[in-house]
Amino acid sequence: MSRGQAAGIGLLLALSIWVFIYKAGPKMPDFEVYWRAASRAAAAQPLYRPDDGHFQFKYLPAFAVLAIPLGFLPLQTAKLFWFAVSVALTVLLVRLNTHLPAERRKPVWLLATILVIVFGKFYAHELVLGQVNMLFAVVATLMLLSIKAKRENVAGGLVALAIVIKPYAVLFVPWLIARRKVGSIAAACLGLGAVLLLPAVVYGFAGNIELHREWWRTVTETTAPNLSVYDNISLAAMSFRVLGPGELSAQVAYGAGLVLLGIAALIFLLRRGVRFPEALEGGVLLILMPLLSPQGWDYVFLIATPAIAVLANDYDRLLQPMRALAIVAVAMIGLVIFDLVGRTAYYAFMRWSVVSMCFFVVIAALVVLRARKIA
Mark out the alpha helices in the chain (DSSP H runs). 3-19, 29-42, 61-66, 68-71, 75-97, 108-129, 133-148, 152-165, 172-179, 182-197, 200-221, 235-243, 247-269, 278-292, 305-314, 320-335, 338-341, 343-351, 354-371
The answer to whether the beta carbons of residues 267 and 367 sit under 8 Å apart is yes
8-state DSSP, 101: S
- Give the whole-angstrom CA distance, residue 367 versus residue 267: 6
Nearest-Å Rg of the Cα atoms of the chain is 20
Per-residue model confidence (pLDDT) at position 8? 64
Could you tell me which residues are beta bridge partners of residue 297? 232
Helix axes 108-129, 29-42, angle to 10 degrees: 70
Per-residue model confidence (pLDDT) at position 348? 85
Per-residue model confidence (pLDDT) at position 9? 66
- Identify the domain containing residue 271 by its residue range: 3-371
Per-residue model confidence (pLDDT) at position 372? 95
- Give the whole-angstrom CA distance, residue 271 versus residue 179: 10
Per-residue model confidence (pLDDT) at position 338? 83
Per-residue model confidence (pLDDT) at position 339? 77
- Give the whole-angstrom CA distance, residue 344 versus residue 355: 16
Number of domains in the chain: 1
Instruction: Report residues of the chain scoring pLDDT below 70.
Output: 1-12, 22, 25
Could you tell me which residues are beta bridge partners of residue 232? 297
Per-residue model confidence (pLDDT) at position 296? 84
Per-residue model confidence (pLDDT) at position 318? 95
The answer to whether the beta carbons of residues 304 and 283 sit under 8 Å apart is yes
Task: Tell if the pTM clears 0.85, that is, is over it.
Answer: yes
Per-residue model confidence (pLDDT) at position 100? 97
pLDDT tens digits for range 263-307: 999 999 999 999 999 999 999 999 999 999 988 889 999 999 999
